[in-house]
Structure 1
Amino acid sequence: MPLSPLHILRFCAAMLALAAATAHAAQPATIRVDYTHSGNALSDQYALERVVVEPLPWPGSLAQGLDNTDRGQNRVEVVDAKTGDLLYSRGFSTIFGEWRTTDEATKASRSFQESVRFPKPAAPVRVRVLKRDERNQFSVAWSVELDTDAPDVVRKQQPAPAWPIPIRVNGASPDKVDLLVIGDGYTAADMKKFEADAKRLADHLFTVSPFKERAADFNVWGLAVPTQEPGVSRPSTGVHHASALGTRYDIFGSERYVLTLDNRALREIAQHAPYEFIEILVNNDTYGGGGIFGQFSTAAASNDWANYLFVHEFGHHFAGLADEYYTSPVAYAPSDKRMEPWEPNVTALRDPAALKWKRHVLAGTPLPTPWPKAEYEEHSRAYQKRRAALRAANRPESDMNALFREDLAFTGKLFSQAPQRRTVGAFEGANYEAKGFYRSEMQCIMFDRSERFCNVCNDGIETIIDLYSGK
């Protein structure tokens, strides 16, 4: 079908914006290493699949090649093979890392696709993937020697299945944080809806501090490959839809957990836009989302809580923020250890004098900090039973949304009467555990469906913005 003049104008405008954002002196090519990560709860292995030169130049700042944030369950390091000099590093986490904490991982082995990306080096390198050990320190898990000019490096690929849409472009990619919003479950007739959803949710992100104050440091792009049917798969209800990304609900048996396990498909689509971070919008109204630090996040775009889902899940993906809630059922088995979490917004409080956010704590604040925990938990037990009953009965999503509003209203009223309402301290109950882990404030986007990040989460986000915007 021939393109209309309007479509041609929009396409040309998009290409001009893309050219302006990616045109930057001396930017090297983007290298992607695809590999498999397999194993179970007790052991894991890595195997190289292929090395790819992506179609677009490196989108990141060359001034910030090394990551000193100490975030993530893993870290990639690119080292000059001859001199041993560290050229590039980034922290990240993986779907495998989450899966291995599930009950299934104690009974079976699985394989997951993963990728790391870095600016093309001038000489052969050693790529190392590190993981945290029992001391919570990084040690090398896998190392591979690579010559990115070798004959078997993939340099030519299929044409782009879709073209990126500029949602907001504030400058050249190396000077900005590039966020790519990818649509899944949008048909060809839904493309205008996808663009509107992406713009609406990106606009909301930049009303929330600290993204609000740092909005000029971001570019946002949209990209969607049309599907035959609207919406993505939700196997627990018998709904199965094909899509290029394969995003679905019910990941690891959690009805609200939405991810794609097809990393290769995701990367081959995403490579046609400048990106450092990805949020996948699914064209569904059922509550759900997910977020993996340094990989991607997801959100149900048509749910009443889409604004919250977009921001909360992006907090996981972008800044490695931990979940601060602890009364909702999750797919992960609780740990019998209480190591200090690497996430910046939760703590095991082993040494109150060395609390990692102590600069925010006023003198005289008790640690742990009292809050109406018993009342909150009593209400939450009843709320979770009602929530499970609604899902079991396959009730309309409007019933679930009403329950969420009721729950948030109860929490807001309960907390408004607490003396420590706006105190920064150490409140027990976080990281999916009622005891042994602590959050910094009573309420935060990472704790419930409220509207603001706590001060500690703000700090954690600002650090990553600085890292990727070259500040």
Structure 2
Amino acid sequence: MRFLLALLLATSASAAAPRTFRVDYFHTGNATEERFSLDRLVLEPLPWPGNPSRPIDETNLGKYLFEVRDRATNRLLYSRGFASIYGEWESTAEAKEAHRTFHESLRFPAPEKPVQVLLKKRDAQNAFRELWSLVVDPQDMFVDPSKPPSPGPLLPLLKNGPPEEKVDLLILGDGYTAQERPKFEKDARRLVDILFTVSPFKERKADFNVWGLMPAAAESGISRPSTGQHRRSPVGATYDAFGSERYVLTFDNRSFRDIASFAPYEFVEILVNGNTYGGGGIFNLYSTVAADSLWSPYIFVHEFGHHFAGLADEYYTSDSAYLPAEDRPEPWERNVTALKDPTNLKWKALVSPSTPLPTPWDKEAYETHAREVQQKRKQIRAERRPEAEMDALFTAQRDWEEKFLGSQKFASQVGAFEGAMYEARGYYRPQVDCIMFTRDRSPFCSVCQHTLSEVIDLYAGKPARPAAPTP
């Protein structure tokens, strides 16, 4: 009887869930100015998958933040922090010389009455400032409720409960032909299994649903412009984003959003059909991984850290398309710091009193080895040698780094280790090693794990997590 009552209540709650509303817009500008303009208002096919008990984002994550407020009362109804492709591009050299436009979306529960949508961005002091706002009337005749072309059947890869009670992750295939659908399913299941061997996802697996969608591609694979390969894949994923041969993104947000709307999702992993090392991840947008790369397990988890919890890259010896920040501002990301005030270190609750700040490690030896690897890596790519040679180089690098970093005096401690966010000086990471730092078999560091857990709580409707415990 009790089970039947719970089932009836769950069914009733699911039936009452609003549809998913989407604001599609254009984000235009350069390194010093940005503008926004409305593209379209969309009512997606499925109900809103989010948990109604945690509509307000209190994590303070993201370069941007959007709010949905009741137009009549100004009451805050919904908010989420996020990052964007534009937000990354504006820090590149190209943004100093040219304007570009990127297509973006905001998704929230469909309102019953007019709402005001406000888009904010952090200023130099990390405070959010309003950049753009618009009034959205759900009864507007231009709200488009039409259903896009179906991308194919929805594949339940892991189902633990109703979408509104779980974190909903979509594995979205790109570059797979209709005949390769079994390969997509095999690739998706393999990588999902790997994700849930890593803490804190391992311990929180019951809080997740995972879905799969694979729109059939006309040709196998995705674009890789640096080698002359171009594909019109359904999701539009491509290597060489921002000129980085390993960076995989899609700039076709319209297609991406229309395809994804056929699944209940809050997070998306784009699984691209290829074996060249590559991937990418942007907070609250999506992450990507080349399924057949030898390094896909690492890339999948690393890039998902960016997408899921806004974790910063902790490595600094690889080439980057981003220009260094002149004044070393304090990053909003939880796992990196400019350490301007060591007494107020953002993760100080995890630092033992006996650990010095900054925390010493053999940076010089690490950097000498890293430079040698980078030279060999560039030569392999320049000569277009087989991917197996790159894999062998990375394997040797992984083995060396794992042994070297594990031998450091403070290897097991949380501190402030210099070198992070593509910068050898001025930025610090919490531990000497982490999935966000190297390709070795290290776990997420303690700070990253705490942040990931906080985001799981938000989307699974759990109470807000207290500050990290003292060691």
TM-score, normalization by structure 1: 0.95
Answer yes or no: is 1:470 the counterpart of 2:423: no
Residues 347-378 of structure 1, C-alpha deviations (whole Å, 9 max, x = no match): 11111111111111111210000011000001
Residues 131-170 of structure 1, C-alpha deviations (whole Å, 9 max, x = no match): 0112211000100011012111001223412221010111
Residues 246-302 of structure 1, C-alpha deviations (whole Å, 9 max, x = no match): 110000000000000010000000000000000001100000000000000000000
Residue equivalent to 1:258: 248
Residue equivalent to 1:324: 314
Residue equivalent to 1:453: 444
Residue 460 of structure 2 aligns to which amino acid in structure 1? Answer: S
Answer yes or no: is 1:48 the counterpart of 2:10: no
Residue 386 of structure 1 aligns to which amino acid in structure 2? Answer: K
How has the CA–CA distance of structure 1 residues 280 and 83 changed in structure 2, closer, same or farther, with 3 Å as cutoff? same
Shift of 1:450: 2.5
How many Å separate the matches in 2 of 1:318 and 1:360? 22
Residue equivalent to 1:30: 20
> Is the CA contact 2:148–2:259 (under 8 Å) kept in the aligned structure 1?
no
Residues 322-368 of structure 1, C-alpha deviations (whole Å, 9 max, x = no match): 00000000111111121111001001111111111111111121000
Residues 215-264 of structure 1, C-alpha deviations (whole Å, 9 max, x = no match): 00000001011112111010000111111111100000000000000100
Structure 1 residue ranges, 4+ long, deviating more than 4 angstroms after superposition: 20-23
Shift of 1:22: 11
The correspondence of residues 325-340 of structure 1 with structure 2, limited to 5 A, is: 325-340=315-330
Answer yes or no: is 1:398 the counterpart of 2:388: yes
> Is the CA contact 1:424–1:440 (under 8 Å) kept in the aligned structure 2?
yes
How many Å separate the matches in 1 of 2:149 and 2:16? 25
Which segment drifts farther, 65-74 or 24-33?
Answer: 24-33
SS in 2 for 1:50: strand
How many Å separate the matches in 1 of 2:43 and 2:11? 19
Residues 24-62 of structure 1, C-alpha deviations (whole Å, 9 max, x = no match): 142111100000000000100000111111000000001
Alignment partner of 2:111 out of 100, 107, 121:
121
Residue 250 of structure 1 aligns to which amino acid in structure 2? Answer: D
> Is the CA contact 1:22–1:274 (under 8 Å) kept in the aligned structure 2?
no
Unaligned runs of 5+ in 1: 1-19
Residue equivalent to 2:465: none
Shift of 1:410: 1.1
Which segment drifts farther, 162-171 or 259-268?
Answer: 162-171
Alignment partner of 1:144 out of 121, 130, 134:
134
Answer yes or no: is 1:238 the counterpart of 2:256: no
Residue 425 of structure 1 aligns to which amino acid in structure 2? Answer: G
How many Å separate the matches in 2 of 1:24 and 1:157? 20
Unaligned runs of 5+ in 2: 1-9, 463-471
Residue equivalent to 2:468: none
> Is the CA contact 1:112–1:261 (under 8 Å) kept in the aligned structure 2?
yes
Answer yes or no: is 1:360 the counterpart of 2:350: yes
Answer yes or no: is 1:216 the counterpart of 2:206: yes
Residue 434 of structure 2 aligns to which amino acid in structure 1? Answer: C
> Is the CA contact 2:24–2:104 (under 8 Å) kept in the aligned structure 1?
yes
> Is the CA contact 2:173–2:214 (under 8 Å) kept in the aligned structure 1?
yes
Which segment drifts farther, 373-382 or 150-159?
Answer: 150-159
Alignment partner of 1:289 out of 279, 284, 290:
279
Residue 106 of structure 2 aligns to which amino acid in structure 1? Answer: V
Residue equivalent to 2:426: 436
Shift of 1:81: 0.8
> Is the CA contact 2:401–2:440 (under 8 Å) kept in the aligned structure 1?
no
Shift of 1:417: 2.1
SS in 2 for 1:347: coil
How many Å separate the matches in 2 of 1:367 and 1:25? 54
How many Å separate the matches in 2 of 1:245 and 1:409? 35
> Is the CA contact 1:32–1:53 (under 8 Å) kept in the aligned structure 2?
yes
Residues 401-439 of structure 1, C-alpha deviations (whole Å, 9 max, x = no match): 110011111111212221111111000000110010000
> Is the CA contact 2:23–2:107 (under 8 Å) kept in the aligned structure 1?
yes
Residue equivalent to 1:200: 190
Residues 419-465 of structure 1, C-alpha deviations (whole Å, 9 max, x = no match): 11111100000011001000000000000113310000000100000
Residue equivalent to 1:311: 301
Residues 63-103 of structure 1, C-alpha deviations (whole Å, 9 max, x = no match): 10000111111001001111111110000000001011111
SS in 1 for 2:237: coil
> Is the CA contact 1:56–1:273 (under 8 Å) kept in the aligned structure 2?
yes
> Is the CA contact 2:312–2:436 (under 8 Å) kept in the aligned structure 1?
yes
How many Å separate the matches in 2 of 1:427 and 1:281? 33
Pairwise CA RMSD of aligned residues?
A: 1.2
SS in 2 for 1:366: coil
Residue equivalent to 1:6: none
> Is the CA contact 2:119–2:130 (under 8 Å) kept in the aligned structure 1?
yes
Residue equivalent to 1:66: 56
> Is the CA contact 2:151–2:213 (under 8 Å) kept in the aligned structure 1?
no
Shift of 1:385: 0.4
How many Å separate the matches in 2 of 1:179 and 1:21? 21
How many Å separate the matches in 1 of 2:148 and 2:426? 51
How many Å separate the matches in 2 of 1:418 and 1:252? 35
Alignment partner of 1:268 out of 245, 258, 261:
258
Shift of 1:171: 0.4
How many Å separate the matches in 2 of 1:252 and 1:321? 20
Alignment partner of 1:410 out of 397, 400, 407:
400
> Is the CA contact 2:120–2:131 (under 8 Å) kept in the aligned structure 1?
yes
SS in 2 for 1:446: coil
Shift of 1:23: 7.4
Shift of 1:120: 1.2
SS in 1 for 2:452: helix
Residue 257 of structure 1 aligns to which amino acid in structure 2? Answer: Y
How many Å separate the matches in 1 of 2:219 and 2:359? 50
Residue 62 of structure 1 aligns to which amino acid in structure 2? Answer: P
> Is the CA contact 2:20–2:46 (under 8 Å) kept in the aligned structure 1?
yes
How many Å separate the matches in 1 of 2:262 and 2:293? 28
How many Å separate the matches in 1 of 2:232 and 2:40? 26
How many Å separate the matches in 2 of 1:121 and 1:229? 40
